[in-house]
Amino acid sequence: MHLITCHHEGRERVGVLYDRNVVLLPPDGWPASMLDLIGAGPAVLDRLRRELPRLAARPDLCRPRDRVELLAPIPRPRKNIVCLGLNYKDHAEESMRAKGLPVELPEYPVVFTKSPTSVTADGAPVPAHAGVTHELDWEVELGVVIGTGGRAIPRARAFEHVFGYTVINDLSARDLQFRHKQWFLGKSLDGFCPMGPALVTTDEIPDPQRLKLFCRVNGVTKQDSSTAQMIFDVATIVETLSRGMTLEPGDVIATGTPAGVGFARQPPEFLKPGDVVECEIENIGVLRNRIV
Ligand code: MG
């Protein structure tokens, strides 16, 4: 299922993309938010899958997709988004070269986070923060959402803990990211984590390491790769993060970006007001935002 969160009559509602419509979960007897749905466990998700055709036949729950105002699938995560840095070989190489450093691939996953307040929706305008940064850059990434929490999750059981996948644009203020040494501030400005449009359940993504992913700026392809190119795959990431830190339902992990980001280009390219960034991942969707 392609699950979405939207604004409907002044309230946040969870829905499912179904044909060309959004089918809203009924207000009574169903989880009221995506975090509640994730926390409710697999039985509720199975029930939703079974009852979807019946719910889709109810006019009070069905809306044309283009008439619905989407929010991010998880509009306000409970915790920071956990992010992998330099997790594609070609991106690690371009980053080192752009900084004049010897090319060295990470021996262990590079982990940083983005603030929950940076999350924004597909279609939402992203502020350029002109007085704060002059080096706004794009990064298409596969987002992984944890379903069943746990600690010390072995690789072989990692996917039992994954609820689904989404598209994330790990927008980055490169000047802030590098000036402040820690990446957190340059990755966390308001609007810097577009997410969506949907959260796709794992049954529709049998192998997350075989997905094509793209980033286009004003229609020009800047990134074109496959999740097969990750240095540390999703199972390894879940194993590594959970070794001593509890993962909880609704935790969001951004798994890193492939080559083609702006700061590593010759000459460097950065986003400016009016630019439209489209991040696309096969079988998940297209995440589109305009810089304003
Ligand atoms: Mg990134």
Q: What does the pLDDT look like over 1-11, one tens digit per residue? A: 999 999 999 99
Q: How far is CA 18 from CA 3, 54, 263, in A?
A: 9, 12, 39
Kindly report, residue by residue over 188-203, the tens digit of the pLDDT: 999 999 999 999 999 9
pLDDT band for position 19 (cuts 50, 70, 90): confident
How far, in Å, are 21, 94, 108, 141, 214 from residue 83 at the CA level? 32, 19, 13, 9, 18
Q: How far is the CA of 96 from the centre of ligand 1 (A)?
A: 15
Could you tell me the pTM of the whole model?
0.98
Which pLDDT band, with edges at 50, 70 and 90, does 173 fall under?
A: very high
pLDDT band at 235 (very low <50, low <70, confident <90, very high): very high
CA of 13 to the centre of ligand 1 (A): 29
Q: How far is the CA of 7 from the centre of ligand 1 (A)?
A: 28
d(CA 253, CA 203): 19
CA of 25 relative to ligand 1 center, distance in Å: 33
Distance from the CA of 49 to the center of ligand 1, in angstroms? Answer: 33
